[in-house]
Amino acid sequence: MRLPPIRRTPKRQILPAEVGGECVFCAILAGRAESSTVHDDGSGPVAFLDLQPAVPGHTLVVPRRHVVDLAGLTPEEGAAMWELGRRVAAAARTAGLADGVNLFLADGVTAGQEIWHVHLHVLPRVAGSVLRLDAARPADRAELDATAARLRDALPPARS
């Protein structure tokens, strides 16, 4: 079953990534900017609703420490973010906001990152809403294998 994709509407504004020279997410975490908090235990990652939700319940999960991208996260911070994302996804189902959930993380400007504080989008989904990422063309297997080899060769060792 193919359904229409979620799109940014013309009403969506591009909000500033910084407020008064401070990362907007850091301002939220410090209580200097308003948010609708979903979870904050005082030590781990925090979950709050996106100010311009793509769908009802669109939640952002952010590490407490200011980290620009995935490479800057410790394994523990990354695991804690994904665990909280899993919990938020389960909550969306329990709350009747979702029949399914998409998790999305943009890492870098080319990937669409707009706020320079790593964050995981938890997107509750119901019948009639679909997020579709279309490839420009089918990829050639040899090209895929060559790219995979380049990535394997450049992969940093796991942190302990």
Residues 58, 117, 119, 121: which is the catalytic one?
119
Q: Check residue 20 and report its DSSP letter.
A: T
Active site residue 66: no
Q: Which of 125, 135, 132 is nearest to 100 (CA)?
A: 125
Report the chain's terminal Cα–Cα distance, integer Å.
43
How far apart CA 38 and CA 59 sit, in angstroms, is: 8
Q: Which of 91, 85, 88 is nearest to 120 (CA)?
A: 85
Q: Tell me the β-bridge partners of 54.
A: none
Vertex 36: Cα angle to 108 and 127 (nearest 5)? 75
How far apart CA 91 and CA 97 sit, in angstroms, is: 8
- For residue 47, the number of C-alpha atoms closer than 13 Å in the C-beta half-sphere is 22
User: Catalytic residue numbers?
Assistant: 119
